[in-house]
Chains A and B, each alone.
Chain A
Amino acid sequence: MPSLDLMKPKHQPSGLRRRLSGLIGPVAIAGLLLFGSGLRAQEASMPLTDWLHEVQQAPLRHTYQGTLVIHVGSQVVSARVTHAMKGDLAVERVDVLSGEPRTSFRYGDQVITIWPDSKRWVSEERQDLGLFSGLSSSPLQSMTQYYNLRGVGADRMAGRDARVFEILPTDDLRWGYRIWRDAQTGLVLKMQTLSVDAERVLEQSVFSELNTEINIDADAIVQAMKPPAGFVTDIHEVQTVDPADWGLQLHAQPWGFYPTGAQLRKGQRQPLPQRPLQWAFSDGLASVSVFYEPAEAPFNESVARAIRQGATHTLVREGGAARLTLVGEVPLRTLQRMADAFNLELQENVPNLKK
């Protein structure tokens, strides 16, 4: 009868080697986790402004195509997004899959929207094309007073490994954000806008699928921006103005919202009923537009009403000789405080409309 030793496999490792080989897997996994968490910790310990700058740079290094699904309240819309680079400028095509069919193109600051059903071609300028556009470095630094960045963990999103971060407000005048970044490319795969207490999701944009291994012809996108034959063309141009020209000022900025610009439609000399002055403010993340328009006739009674659409609040105040409409991705109380401050300025500076 053979000894029991002869029945052992010839290449069976020794007990020590067996124990070591059994440790390789867990050690490797632990190492990866430690490495990953180290990266997350390093990333989360970055200054918020640096981190956001890095997030913004990611799409400049990649082409991608994917389907974006946006939840705002109970409303759900989706769009097919194609992104490429042409030189230093981003080229983007957005085919909106919900509501009336339309395709929007962005090339630098130029934005074109084509409505095939109504055969309309609309050109307009947009400001929200870059991070912190219009903000000086000083307000950027103060932004860290109002938000904290922290790493949350790892997750899977759109079939990709993601790192999750939260940007939480330090007061109750702005929302928080939860962001999923692709571990491979750094692209944002999902973004949630959170209530002040971070308990509720107010709005969410998420790629249901995203392809970053794709060749996209940026020139073809630019070519497709031209107005098709037989389409009505409409060019919306704006001009930057100084609200102080009409006695409109907002001195107090105690909540970190700084003016980023004011505009009227091109050729418009002053705010008019139905054609208001738009004055934009931002704290670096959240933004508010203040629309001021003189009333066609003095309002007999004062009315205030508010509309909430996901993270966006709209506050309308009409009374006396003016109507104020404030729109922003902020809590209602923020709009109310800004409207109060704006009204105080109106009280002290009677609008002096240019003739």
Chain B
Amino acid sequence: MTKKTHKPNREWLSALHDDALEQWPVDEDFDDAALEQWRMQMGVRAALRNESLPDPAQTERLFQALHRVQHEEPVARRRTAIVGGEGLTQPVPPAVAANDARYAWSWVAAVVLGVGSWVLWVGDASNPDAMVAQRPEVAPTALIASTPLAQDVLVVEGVARDPRVDALIDRHRQWGGWSAGAAFPASYARNVALER
């Protein structure tokens, strides 16, 4: 894990847009200025993408949901078994950990991104042209949810944005991947076309 460097609040908000959720500092908090900054960034993003501005009422519901999550006790979450020191594996009990605050922020940020995306989606639903225009050529990385089965796992959808992980996905496709596709005469073509 890389050492976190201090960044101003608004920079962290910007990083949140860019999916740098895991680097969110433990001591960083959303305040009113941060929320206003978030609102502004959403507006700028909508303008840059030629999208409709989110309905203020929907934005308000987003902030209310955020506020609610911020003030709720974190739900007890199952931590997956992890590899412990010296190569041994130790199941981690659901006890308070030094980095629980970071996990709590992960949940908050997940709700923010999830509801935010929903707000943008609903805001654009009446404008099909805008929906087509905003469709990226390559799927962006976007936080979608923490699933019940993977409550401590951040699930992102789209490209990995991690060259190391990208390389392993390619290796999976090159060597051992998609045996179902072997039934498909063009499985090899599928794997080749998906490599980067």
Contact = CB atoms under 8 A, between A and B. Distances in A.
A343 B83 CA distance: 7
B44 interface: no
A336 B159 contact: no
Nearest to A291: B168
Q: Is the interface of A mostly helix, strand, loop or mixed?
A: strand
Interface stretch (A4-12, A38-46, A321-329): A321-329
A351 interface: yes
Contacts of B183: 52, 55-56, 131, 179, 188, 285
A282 B153 CA distance: 24
A213 B84 CA distance: 60
A59 interface: yes
Contacts of A75: 138-139, 158
Nearest to B140: A74
Interface in A324-345: 324-325, 327-329, 332-333, 336, 339-340, 343-344
A189 to B, nearest CB: 10
Closest 3 CB pairs of A and B: A280-B176, A347-B89, A302-B82
Contact of B175 (A83, A280, A321): A280
Given A128-B178, A320-B84, 20 more contacts: A72-B194, A74-B135, A77-B194, A126-B188, A131-B183, A132-B182, A280-B172, A287-B177, A289-B175, A302-B79, A304-B82, A305-B155, A307-B141, A308-B155, A309-B157, A317-B82, A327-B169, A336-B80, A350-B87, A350-B88
Given A104-B192, A287-B178, A309 B82 contact: no
Interface stretch (A24-32, A219-227, A293-301): A293-301
B188 A274 contact: no
B188 A305 contact: no
B174 interface: yes
B1 interface: yes
B81 interface: yes
Contacts of A127: 175-176
B80 A339 contact: yes
Bin chain A's interface residue count.
35 or more
Contacts, number: 256
A270 interface: no
Contact of A128 (B88, B158, B181, B194): B181
B150 A336 contact: yes
Contact of A306 (B88, B153, B171, B188): B153
Contacts of A68: 186, 189-190, 193
A241 interface: no
18 contacts: A72-B194, A179-B184, A188-B185, A205-B184, A260-B179, A261-B176, A285-B179, A309-B158, A314-B160, A314-B165, A314-B168, A314-B169, A325-B168, A328-B172, A332-B147, A332-B155, A346-B87, A346-B88
Interface of A: 52, 55-56, 58-59, 64, 68, 70, 72-75, 77-79, 81, 83, 92, 94, 96, 98-99, 102, 104, 106, 111, 113, 124-133, 177, 179, 187-188, 191, 193, 205, 207, 238, 260-261, 263, 274, 276, 278, 280, 282, 284-287, 289, 291, 294, 298-309, 312, 314-322, 324-325, 327-329, 332-333, 336, 339-340, 343-344, 346-347, 350-351
